């Protein structure tokens, strides 16, 4: 007012008078003083320009008394009047008026209750008395009143419940309404942000202002929602004082005032930012926030941001308006976002000073805001940063890529397990692996593992979580995954606990998605039975359990039959890159074989109708592929498993259309030749690399075309039909003729061309009718059998009459006919003392040195014994097994071993040389060193200390030549069943042992290792680098060491082809089937059964053997011959399929004293040169006649075994006639060849 007066005086003194003052006030934005009648006086003064200054000075005191604030921010008002008080009054009246009504209602209700309290008690007493004294009829009026009151209360309650349902998030309508209110609140806040660029108060026409119309619609909805909340509130007073209610009071009424006054005032609309506090609740309603950390993080952020924006809105209001007691003169023009910046630097105590509050209200607010804002900033911001920092780095969700499969890998995720898995899964020898690998583990990866994931970021993703949590399974999209692979910790202290964990993982995954394919690793064989208890576990749909103990001991057992086989099989299903070595060393040939792997491919239609040996020979000679097995589809639909894998089935099997073959090759591209081969296009091609998909039109193979191809079925060498071939031996040809006469194997046989031709002319492309079969001579003896019968089908086969004539009490097998079986024996009957074992003549046996005690985990010795007791061996061919170890441990294992014959136990320790000499370890065919002790030692080099000490102990032993006769006749690795006395009739001959073994180095040993790097300690004379991979070390290449880590490759191999695991299991376990596993899971023991044609037919299956080239029918090829010639001759003459060589390490050298160590060569090429000392790995057929020559011996051995414990391990001493009657051609060999020894 003083400034205004001074301004007026100055104007008057200047001669302008009141007009000058009025004009200055209307033109200057900061002089906001006018009289109440300024409009009339200004109009009159402007119209009468000749008024006197004395009259102006007379009215000046009156004008100063009627001054009101006004600004130029209201251009629509010519008088410049501000109406902010009207907007504020509407909110204050609404808030305090409602609060007054609620308090008045509560006061009246309280007074009414207090005043009527005594009267109510009196009425209740009277009502009780009246009810006891009067009749029921007099009480009816009272009941009617109570029913009316109850009906009224029910109506009010129903309305209240309805309103509560409408605003709650328990129903879909409530959730939609809550989310909609929040979204509209954010929309109203956005409109405020837009209007904040305008003056605080301005004139706006409701019908022309679009933002005002939208804001009006929003607030009408807010008003309706406020009504619902008020109805549903139990305590109206507390509801009235809620933050959301206060926000509505100061934002909804001003909008209606704006419509009425046609002007807008920003006012307190910034309070809508307080709605952000409910953001976390909204996200919880939508099931977006589920974890406590995420809820807490959103709560902190929403409170911090809403407080920040609300305080900025208040500063923006007071700074742009000014202080009321200063007549709004000290205002300053600040945008809303400048106020946001001011509040942030104030909260953080930085205070740059470039923007600051000028008004008293603003500064007063900043004082109190600093107290609360600083505390909030100092507490909220660190906690927010901590929550964000502690948030799982790998906590996202997998996004499936269209057209690309993905697998989930979980379980034991470490750097070692993941690197081994990825190295094999993503190997370059596989076809393009268009599969993404998703790892799921509950522990975040370390830096090394994280670096590994980054190196494979295009195909590998990692997520932190657990498969036991359905939410985590949903994150990795387990329902759309192609498979789930579960890795096990092979080095854990408690294998049963590890298996239990993996079984729980399987249960969780199958419970979430029963159809998912699962491949899991199991440590203990007996725990596989628990998987069968899972209803959705189905091995027919691809579910597989890779039991490491079963396969590990199975590999070792096969090495007892053919030393080095464990190394060859382990290399076959592991992906290894080809390493070329120019020097002529043993590593060169070994690594050439290591590069071979097992693959499967469908056979071309050009092979349909040909026999298995013919196709096998054609693939090896022309396609440079080695086919060892096929998947046979049985025509018997009643059989449990129509698809069976047959290993080297023989020449009686004809290839069907769409047959799947199992090949040994260096990469997947080579195997494609078997699928692309076309006789018309590729018959004259000599380079197998040129065999690719031909361009000729492939005709649909009808039965007529099959017949034509059958007429072309011929020997690969001479070009004649199989019946007229002179290359095929007469014995094999006679067996084929006998077999075909007994029951024709196929209606498209070469030997029945006329019958087949008539069948093709008369019948449709389906199978022949039973009448036509009988009329044409097909299946006369077995009309109900399959037209494509083979030896593995449960029918009588040639030679079964000889088996049936044997004494059934001597020849006993389990109920499936797959293994030799005997009645359960007490462990005391098989225990040998040291003196008894020393007096027992043991030779050609298997010594198992086992470390374990009463607390050791069981390793499942049954898996070691079962392959050695397979029924495709005759009884006299079974190698005696002697366990040397702790009797306390062996008693725990005996329950699973008491049904197997020829098993003995020597209580002791493998470190005792006296115990080893007692079991004639120098005469054994194989010494197996195992350990059941789980060494929890930090130093990994000490984990295998017991096995390493036992191996070195045996190698350092010295022996004399006191029993040279037995040593000279021990048969080493001679495949059982071949009579050594008749070399002309038998293709397999074992090499004679050295006349005497004077050192333990020559004893065949295979040692199990836990840690791969410990292989360096087994051989003291090798030059292996400690960092060399296991498969490159000399002990592993020689087959004297085996580590369970080589089985890791089976996970990826099984995923790409589940038949590979079935083939490996068939080769290794001796014939274990899913049916047998179910039986063992039921009874935990093999069940004996009577010999029937069906069970005896199961004996007729292939087995692994070693073919000696030093003498016998293949001796001519041993001295400089080609491996391909040997392959073809063995296949044609004896149906034996060769697939590798076991060669002396220094065979390529010309030194007179050679090392006795041998190494493995897998699938050598056709032109590979042989040496006389080579042993050939082969798959030989079951010989039904081999058991007759030793029938009396096996009878007597079995009888003596059942009668006496001492004689149970006694073998009849063979005569020396075999050695004296050796062929003269052997004597004429080079002296160096005579001195060759073989282990």
For position 556, what pLDDT does the model report? 94
Look at 22-36, 126-140, 167-181, 1161-1175 and tell me which has the smallest mean pLDDT: 22-36
Give rounded-to-5 percent helix, strand, coil for the chain: 50, 10, 40
**1112 within some domain:** no
For position 868, what pLDDT does the model report? 94
Find the mean pLDDT for residues 238-244. 88
For position 1024, what pLDDT does the model report? 64
Token pair of 1233 as six digits: 């060849």
Q: Which pTM does this prediction carry? A: 0.67
Verify that 857 and 964 share a domain, yes or no: yes
Verify that 169 and 267 share a domain, yes or no: yes
Verify that 350 and 443 share a domain, yes or no: no
What residues does 831 pair with on adjacent strands? 905
Find the mean pLDDT for residues 923-948. 83
For position 869, what pLDDT does the model report? 93
E-state strands within 835-964: 846-851, 881-885, 903-907, 926-931
Verify that 364 and 448 share a domain, yes or no: no
Q: Give the pLDDT band (50/70/90) at residue 1165.
A: very high
For position 1096, what pLDDT does the model report? 84
Find the mean pLDDT for residues 968-992. 40
Verify that 305 and 278 share a domain, yes or no: no
- CB < 8 Å & 24+ apart, contacts of 1056-1063: 1056/430, 1057/599, 1057/600, 1058/542, 1058/544, 1059/600, 1059/631, 1059/645, 1059/660, 1059/662, 1060/573, 1060/598, 1060/600, 1060/662, 1061/544, 1061/546, 1062/645, 1063/598, 1063/629, 1063/645, 1063/647, 1063/662
Strand 926-931 to 1005-1009 pairing: parallel
- Cα torsion 344, 349, 352, 353 to 10°: value is 90
Report whether pLDDT(916) > 90.
yes
Token pair of 212 as six digits: 């005002």
Distance of CA 185 to the CA centre of its chain: 46
Q: Give the pLDDT band (50/70/90) at residue 679.
A: confident
Distance CA 95, CA 499 (A): 68
Residue bearing the bigger pLDDT, 24 or 932? 932
Report whether pLDDT(64) > 50.
no
The helix or strand, by DSSP H or E, that contains position 1219, with its residue range, turns out to be helix 1217-1220
Segments forming the whole domain that contains residue 718:
701-787
> What residues contact 352, with CB distance under 8 A and at least 6 apart?
345
**299 within some domain:** yes
For position 1073, what pLDDT does the model report? 73
Torsion-angle region of 931 (φ positive above 0: left; ψ -120 to 50: alpha; else: beta) = beta
What residues does 903 pair with on adjacent strands? 881
Please state the φ and ψ torsions of residue 990, each to the nearest 5 degrees.
Answer: -85, 150
Burial of 721 (0-12, 13-18, 19+ CB in 10 A): middle
**1004 within some domain:** yes
Token pair of 1113 as six digits: 């029918």
CATH number of the domain at 434, please.
3.40.50.720
> What residues contact 641, with CB distance under 8 A and at least 6 apart?
540, 634, 1074
Residue bearing the bigger pLDDT, 126 or 1086? 1086
Report whether pLDDT(792) > 70.
no
* Percent of the chain at pLDDT exceeding 70: 71
Torsion sign across C-alpha atoms 1178, 1179, 1181, 1182: positive
Verify that 189 and 238 share a domain, yes or no: yes
Token pair of 921 as six digits: 């370890």
For position 810, what pLDDT does the model report? 53
For position 1190, what pLDDT does the model report? 43
**1204 within some domain:** no
Find the mean pLDDT for residues 1157-1183. 91
* Contact assessment for residue 1229 and residue 1172, using Cβ atoms and an 8 Å cutoff: yes
For position 866, what pLDDT does the model report? 93
Token pair of 1072 as six digits: 């274990």
For position 661, what pLDDT does the model report? 93
CATH number of the domain at 306, please.
1.10.287.70
**63 within some domain:** yes
Residue 189: closest CA among 305, 308, 88, 269 = 269
* Contact assessment for residue 489 and residue 453, using Cβ atoms and an 8 Å cutoff: no
Q: Give the pLDDT band (50/70/90) at residue 861.
A: very high
Residue carrying the six token digits 């295979």: 1006
Verify that 386 and 433 share a domain, yes or no: no
Find the mean pLDDT for residues 894-910. 93
The DSSP result for 162-187, as a single string, is: HHHHHHSSSSHHHHHHHHHHHHHHHH
**410 within some domain:** yes
Among 515, 542, 569, the domain boundary falls at 542
For position 1153, what pLDDT does the model report? 58
**753 within some domain:** yes
Segment 996-1040, tens digit of pLDDT: 577 888 899 999 998 888 888 888 776 667 778 888 899 999 999
Report whether pLDDT(1082) > 80.
no
Verify that 281 and 306 share a domain, yes or no: no
For position 971, what pLDDT does the model report? 40
Look at 161-165, 600-604, 1107-1111 and tell me which has the smallest mean pLDDT: 161-165
- Angle formed by the axes of helices 447-455 and 415-425, to 10°? 10
Q: Give the pLDDT band (50/70/90) at residue 1150.
A: low
Distance CA 617, CA 1124 (A): 10
Residue bearing the bigger pLDDT, 313 or 729? 313
Q: Is 115 helix (H, G, I), strand (E, B) or coil?
A: helix
Q: Give the pLDDT band (50/70/90) at residue 883.
A: very high
* Contact assessment for residue 1032 and residue 528, using Cβ atoms and an 8 Å cutoff: no
Residue bearing the bigger pLDDT, 51 or 963? 963
Find the mean pLDDT for residues 533-544. 88
Distance CA 346, CA 339 (A): 10
Find the mean pLDDT for residues 1119-1132. 91
For position 1128, what pLDDT does the model report? 94
Find the mean pLDDT for residues 154-179. 78
Q: Give the pLDDT band (50/70/90) at residue 1166.
A: very high
Q: What angle do CA 551, 554, 560 make, to 5 degrees?
A: 150
Look at 85-94, 304-313, 721-730 and tell me which has the smallest mean pLDDT: 721-730
Residue 792: closest CA among 676, 662, 641 = 641
Report whether pLDDT(7) > 90.
no
Query: In the chain, how long is the greatest CA-to-CA distance?
Result: 161
Domain count, the chain: 6
Report whether pLDDT(250) > 60.
yes
- Quick count: other Cβ atoms within 10 Å of Cβ 221? 17
Distance CA 6, CA 694 (A): 110
For position 19, what pLDDT does the model report? 37
Sequence-ordered alpha helix ranges (H) in 520-667: 528-531, 548-561, 565-572, 586-594, 612-621
For position 14, what pLDDT does the model report? 36
* Contact assessment for residue 487 and residue 453, using Cβ atoms and an 8 Å cutoff: no
Burial of 543 (0-12, 13-18, 19+ CB in 10 A): buried
Half-sphere exposure of 416 (CA within 13 A, CB side): 11
Segment 442-477, tens digit of pLDDT: 998 999 999 999 999 889 999 999 999 999 999 999
Residue carrying the six token digits 């050298």: 1149
Verify that 890 and 928 share a domain, yes or no: yes
For position 694, what pLDDT does the model report? 79
Segment 87-139, tens digit of pLDDT: 888 888 988 998 999 899 888 888 888 887 655 555 555 555 555 444 444 44
What's the whole-number average pLDDT of the chain?
75
Residue carrying the six token digits 């076309």: 678
Segment 643-663, tens digit of pLDDT: 788 899 888 888 988 899 999
Most confidently modeled of 632-641, 701-710, 1103-1112, 1158-1167? 1158-1167
Q: Is 874 helix (H, G, I), strand (E, B) or coil?
A: coil
Q: Give the pLDDT band (50/70/90) at residue 897.
A: very high
Verify that 277 and 349 share a domain, yes or no: no
**1154 within some domain:** no
Report whether pLDDT(891) > 50.
yes
What residues does 15 pair with on adjacent strands? none
> What residues contact 262, with CB distance under 8 A and at least 6 apart?
76, 203, 204, 205, 206
Look at 187-191, 514-518, 696-700, 1130-1134 and tell me which has the smallest mean pLDDT: 696-700
Verify that 236 and 356 share a domain, yes or no: no
Verify that 367 and 447 share a domain, yes or no: no
Please state the φ and ψ torsions of residue 602, each to the nearest 5 degrees.
Answer: -75, 140
């Amino acid at each position: 007012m003083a400034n205004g007066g001074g301004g007026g005086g100055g104007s008057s003194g200047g001669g302008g008078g009141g007009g000058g003052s009025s004009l200055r006030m209307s033109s200057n934005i900061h002089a906001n003083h006018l009289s109440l009648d300024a409009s009339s006086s200004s109009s009159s003064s402007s119209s009468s320009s000749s008024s006197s200054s004395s009259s102006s000075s007379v009215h000046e005191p009156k004008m100063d008394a009627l001054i009101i604030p006004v600004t130029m921010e209201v251009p629509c008002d010519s008088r410049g009047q501000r109406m902010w008080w009207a907007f504020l009054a509407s909110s204050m009246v609404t808030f305090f008026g409602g609060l007054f009504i609620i308090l008045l209602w509560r006061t009246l209700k309280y007074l009414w209750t207090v005043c009527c309290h005594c009267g109510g008690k009196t009425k209740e007493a009277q009502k009780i008395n009246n009810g006891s004294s009067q009749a029921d009829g007099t009480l009816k009026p009272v009941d009617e009143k109570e029913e009316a009151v109850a009906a009224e209360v029910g109506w009010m309650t129903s309305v209240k419940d309805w309103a509560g349902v409408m605003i709650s998030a328990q129903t879909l309508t409530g959730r939609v309404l809550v989310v909609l209110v929040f979204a509209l609140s954010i929309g109203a806040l956005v409109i405020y942000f837009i209007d904040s660029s305008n003056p605080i108060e301005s004139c706006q026409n409701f019908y022309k202002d679009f933002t005002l119309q939208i804001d009006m619609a929003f607030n009408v909805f807010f008003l309706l929602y406020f009504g619902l909340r008020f109805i549903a509130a139990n305590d109206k007073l507390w509801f009235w004082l809620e933050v959301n209610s206060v926000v509505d009071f100061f934002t909804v009424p001003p909008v209606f005032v704006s419509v009425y006054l046609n002007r807008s005032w920003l006012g307190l609309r910034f309070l809508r930012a307080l709605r952000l506090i409910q953001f976390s609740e909204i996200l919880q309603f939508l099931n977006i926030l589920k974890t406590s950390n995420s809820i807490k993080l959103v709560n902190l952020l929403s409170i911090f941001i809403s407080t920040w924006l609300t305080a900025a809105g208040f500063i923006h209001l007071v700074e742009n308006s000014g202080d009321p007691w200063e007549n709004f003169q000290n205002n300053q023009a600040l945008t809303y976002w400048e106020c946001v910046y001011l509040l942030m630097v104030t909260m953080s105590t930085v205070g740059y000073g470039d923007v600051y509050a000028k008004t008293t209200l603003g500064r007063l607010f900043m004082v109190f805001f600093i107290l609360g804002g600083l505390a909030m900033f100092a507490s909220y911001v660190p906690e927010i940063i901590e929550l964000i920092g502690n948030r799982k780095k790998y906590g996202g969700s997998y996004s499936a890529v269209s057209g690309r499969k993905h697998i989930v890998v979980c379980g034991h995720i470490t750097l070692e397990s993941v690197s081994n898995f990825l190295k094999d899964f993503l190997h370059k020898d596989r076809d393009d692996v268009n599969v993404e690998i998703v790892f799921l583990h509950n522990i975040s990866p370390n830096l090394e593992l994280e670096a590994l994931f980054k190196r494979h970021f295009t195909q590998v993703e990692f997520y932190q979580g657990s498969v036991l949590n359905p939410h985590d399974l949903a994150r990795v999209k387990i329902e759309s995954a192609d498979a789930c692979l579960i890795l096990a910790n092979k080095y854990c202290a408690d294998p049963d606990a590890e298996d239990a964990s993996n079984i729980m993982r399987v249960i969780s995954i199958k419970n979430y998605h029963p159809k998912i394919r699962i491949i899991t690793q199991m440590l203990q064989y007996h725990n596989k039975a628990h998987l069968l208890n899972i209803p959705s576990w189905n091995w027919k749909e691809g579910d597989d359990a890779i039991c490491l103990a079963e396969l590990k001991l199975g590999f070792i057992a096969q090495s007892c039959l053919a030393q080095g086989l464990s190394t060859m099989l382990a290399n076959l299903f592991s992906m290894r890159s080809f390493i070329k070595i120019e020097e002529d060393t043993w590593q060169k040939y070994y690594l050439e074989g290591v590069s071979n792997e097992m693959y499967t491919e469908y056979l071309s239609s050009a092979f349909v109708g040909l026999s298995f040996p013919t196709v096998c020979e054609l693939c090896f000679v022309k396609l440079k592929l080695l086919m060892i097995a096929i998947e046979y589809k049985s025509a018997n639909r009643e059989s449990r498993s129509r698809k069976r894998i047959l290993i080297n089935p023989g020449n009686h099997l004809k290839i069907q259309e769409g047959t799947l073959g199992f090949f040994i090759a260096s990469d997947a591209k080579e195997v494609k030749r078997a699928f692309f081969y076309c006789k018309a296009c590729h018959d004259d091609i000599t380079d197998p690399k040129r065999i690719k998909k031909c361009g000729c039109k492939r005709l649909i193979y009808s039965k007529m075309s099959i017949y034509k191809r059958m007429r072309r079925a011929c020997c690969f060498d001479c070009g004649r039909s199989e019946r007229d071939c002179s290359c095929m031996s007469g014995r094999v040809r006679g067996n084929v003729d006998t077999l075909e006469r007994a029951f024709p194997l196929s209606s498209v046989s070469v030997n029945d061309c006329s019958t087949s031709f008539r069948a093709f002319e008369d019948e449709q492309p389906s199978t022949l009718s039973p009448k036509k079969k009988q009329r044409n001579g097909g299946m006369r003896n077995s009309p109900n059998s399959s037209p494509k019968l083979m030896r593995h089908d449960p029918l009588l086969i040639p030679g079964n009459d000889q088996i049936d004539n044997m004494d059934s009490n001597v020849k006993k097998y389990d109920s499936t006919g797959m293994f030799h079986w005997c009645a359960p024996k007490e462990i005391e009957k098989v225990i040998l003392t040291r003196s008894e074992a020393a007096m027992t003549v043991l030779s050609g046996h298997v010594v198992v040195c086992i470390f374990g005690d009463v607390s050791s985990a069981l390793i499942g010795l049954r898996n070691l014994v079962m392959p050695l007791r397979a029924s495709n061996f005759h009884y006299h061919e079974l190698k005696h097994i002697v366990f040397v170890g702790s009797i306390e441990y062996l008693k725990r294992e005996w329950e699973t071993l008491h049904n197997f014959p020829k098993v003995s136990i020597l209580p002791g320790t493998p470190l005792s040389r006296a115990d080893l000499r007692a079991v004639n370890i120098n005469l054994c065919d194989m010494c197996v060193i195992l350990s059941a002790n789980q060494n929890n030692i930090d130093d990994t080099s000490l984990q295998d200390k017991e096995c390493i000490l036992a191996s070195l102990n045996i190698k350092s032993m010295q022996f004399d030549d006191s029993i040279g006769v037995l040593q000279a006749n021990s048969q080493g690795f001679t495949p059982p069943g071949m009579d050594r006395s008749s070399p002309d009739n038998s293709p397999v001959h074992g090499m004679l042992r050295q006349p005497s073994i004077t050192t333990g180095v020559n004893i065949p040993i295979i040692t199990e290792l836990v840690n791969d790097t410990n292989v360096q300690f087994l051989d003291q004379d090798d030059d292996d680098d400690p960092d060399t991979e296991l498969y490159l070390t000399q002990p592993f290449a020689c087959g004297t060491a085996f580590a369970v880590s080589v089985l890791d490759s089976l996970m990826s191999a099984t995923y790409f082809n589940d038949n590979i695991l079935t083939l490996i299991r068939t080769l290794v376990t001796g014939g274990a089937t899913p049916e047998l596993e179910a039986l063992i899971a039921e009874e935990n023991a093999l069940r004996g059964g009577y010999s029937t044609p069906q069970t005896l037919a199961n004996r007729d299956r292939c087995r692994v053997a070693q073919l000696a080239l030093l003498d016998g029918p293949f001796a001519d090829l041993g001295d400089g011959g080609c491996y391909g010639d040997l392959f073809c001759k063995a296949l044609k003459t004896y149906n034996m399929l060769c697939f590798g060589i076991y060669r002396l390490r220094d065979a390529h050298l010309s030194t007179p004293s050679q090392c006795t160590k041998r190494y493995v060569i897998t699938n050598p090429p056709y032109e590979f040169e042989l040496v006389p000392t080579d042993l050939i790995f082969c798959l030989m057929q079951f010989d039904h006649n081999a058991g007759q020559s030793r029938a009396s011996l096996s009878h007597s051995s079995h009888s003596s075994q059942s009668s006496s414990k001492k004689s149970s391990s006694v073998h009849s001493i063979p005569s020396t006639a075999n050695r004296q009657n050796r062929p003269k051609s052997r004597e004429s060999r080079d002296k160096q060849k005579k001195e060759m020894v073989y282990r």
